[in-house]
Structure 1
């Protein structure tokens, strides 16, 4: 038995298919919400009892969050960002968060906050899944723009998560005072731009970093190129060794980042040299701390939410044990994963 797992970076509106963007753009509200509910249940069945959804459409993640909290649907606790702030025609513009100028930025933060957001998401740089958008390392906002977003979020008591691949965008996000940096891949035009002094600042400010390692990280390495992937992967271990507070997330929903692949994402950290006890902390108590909910989840302790899972085996010896989830309790509500039911029925039928 161990605390329920926490995935710090998902997109429930995306289906992890080869053209997730076209799918979400084509879906009507009802069908999209239905798909999101199914994906939330899929996460729960794999032992994930809390997720942070970092960008959806039409406030649907908030509606799903409330339905789960009210006991109308089975699913993990959801911390929702609503539409992520992005530049005009910028990364994930189709989710409805395009802004230009400080007043538009303030208005979007206010709209998201009034719409029930638990966190404000800002696309500080471009991304890899938006056709025609800026390059993945290109900054989308000025430092002042990012400061404005953080300042307005603070008025509503909300943390800020910054999507940042490019080093210039990472630097501006850190200076602006964001709470978490997503991806943090240290990219520049044609290579990498690693800055020692910037790492020191991230550590000093206590900013958490979520690499958002895809469950398909091995396939990513093949597509990205083994040499570049090796450098990228090594940077994650390097950040840990320098004292950066890393937490687990999958980017579930983008192409090939499936919703039942959390353990595969954790195995990425094992691949680059993290010990298993540290990996489990990154997916439980450390993740809870990064999301601002460490006072009620992430640990098995008196007075905490009943978020826990029962697995077959000891994940401290083999992370694969986390794939064998027999029982889940999320906020005190019990749930038996479909796979566990199939295993139990199969064992009874075969007499095993």
Structure 2
């Protein structure tokens, strides 16, 4: 399949070509660059999709979703009440919503009874259309702790290690640990309170490494963030630096350690939340809450884009709403595109698989009208999504095949 476009963004800032083409063969990128150069490598019988005036870029990455949650007031309710086939069908619909937004890779950070692993298998087998899925399975939490209802309760280090093994043997791609409390668990620890000691988190990291798996730490509180970093996790989710119900304690030494160790932060944001806060609290308070992302970026901490889709009000069809927060904070649009593609792929250990337009990588591609470098909202004008070489028409056929 040959795709021709007006502009090609390779992923990293500054790397682009006009009047360009990408050749896809056997699910991978075979060639990419100036149109005439790629045409010279293309068989006359290759299917063609011509998008004059459009921009092609790598498929987008959502580093934090919950496909088994429905984004309602009690997002886990349907998960607990649905039988496996009904749940899988609902999750498949949500996966297709993400794909329609141009998201070709997601990391699912918590479900029950390996639901996302089952969905991953269905996508891989071609029974369901959806993005590449990295799945965590049941997140580790103390008895009665945050998201205890997902089946990952662990009372001590032995149970903690056993749960890591259980998830790994079920096929998990990543281990999720609830280092702090959260806001959707009634009666659980507060968001700023730690749920595990540094030693316990280190045990989870050690056990996960035996299986070659990274650890993602849900951590709102400053103490839990510090413990997660000291334990050597791969990513920190949310990273609010809360020091109490009203206080914040941004620890420069901890952030510097994150930068040194390459520990990425996934802000886990959604368009609804930041726009609601902006309308309710005004620009100054909203910027004070979210500019931790700019602060972390300035210190060299890798950033990973994610929406937390599935929790209350975090929809599966508004990925770009999350990215627009970064531009509102002052990130250049081209840098935001890099964060959503090449940088996130690197943070997830997928740099050799996806996130850039380069020969040999999986053909995870997005074609949009206009130039998202000039106006990020162009990412909403999706013309074509290609996931691992399979085309998915969003705006209708309209092109020559």
TM-score if structure 2 supplies the norm length?
A: 0.83
Shift in Å, 1:32: 1.2
Aligned to 2:247: 191
Q: SS of the residue aligned with 1:87?
A: coil
Q: Using the alignment, how far apart are the partners of 1:42 and 1:296 within structure 2? A: 23
Query: 1:21: how far off?
Result: 2.4
Structure with a larger share of its residues in helix? 1
Say which is worse superposed, 261-270 or 224-233, in terms of deviation: 224-233
Q: 2:159 aligns with which of 104, 117, 129?
A: 104
1:317 equivalent in alignment to 2:374: yes
Superposed displacement of residue 49, structure 1: 0.3
1:156 aligns to 2:211 (yes or no):
yes
Q: Residues 19-56 of structure 1, C-alpha deviation per residue, up to 9 Å, x if partnerless?
A: 21223222222211110000001100110000000001
Distance 1:31 1:256, change over 3 A: same
Match of 1:75 in 2: 130
Aligned twin of 1:50 = 105
Asked if 1:275 corresponds to 2:337, the answer is no
| Partner of residue 231, structure 1 | 288
Structure 2 unaligned blocks of 5 or more = 1-55
Which structure: greater strand fraction? 2
Measured in 1, the distance between the counterparts of 2:286 and 2:136 equals: 29
| SS at structure 1 position matched to 2:241 | strand
- In 1: Cα distance, 2:143 partner to 2:284 partner: 34
2:313 maps to what in 1? 256
Q: Does 1:176 align with 2:231?
A: yes
1:141/1:227 CA distance change after superposition, 3 Å: farther
Residue 328 of structure 2 corresponds to residue 299 of structure 1: no
2:353 equivalent to 1:329: no
Matched, 1:21 2:54: no
Q: 36, 40, 65: which one pairs with 2:91?
A: 36
Q: Matched residues in 1 for 2:235 and 2:282: separation? A: 28
When the two structures are superposed, what TM-score results if normalisation uses the length of structure 1? Answer: 0.94
Query: 8 Å contact 1:284–1:299 — kept in the other structure?
Result: yes
Work out the CA distance in 2 between the residues paired with 1:26 and 1:173. Answer: 33
Residue of 180, 201, 204 corresponding to 2:257: 201
CA contact (8 A) 2:287 2:329 kept: no
Cα distance in 2 between the residues matched to 1:220 and 1:58? 35
Q: Distance in 2 between matches of 1:231 and 1:133?
A: 27
> Aligned to 2:366, what secondary structure does the other structure show?
strand
The secondary structure found in structure 2 opposite 1:8 is strand
Which residue pairs with 2:266 in the alignment?
210
Structure 2 counterpart SS, 1:17: coil
Structure 1, gaps ≥5 residues long: 345-352
Distance 1:313 1:227, change over 3 A: closer
Aligned to 1:147: 202
Instruction: Report how many residues are paired.
Output: 342
CA distance 1:19–1:226, shift in 2 (3 Å)? farther
Distance (whole Å) between structure 2 residues aligned to residue 231 and residue 323 of structure 1: 28
How large is the Cα RMSD of the aligned pairs?
A: 1.6
Structure number, greater radius of gyration? 2
Contact 1:119 1:158 in 2 (8 A): yes
Matches of 2:176 and 2:69 in 1, distance apart? 16
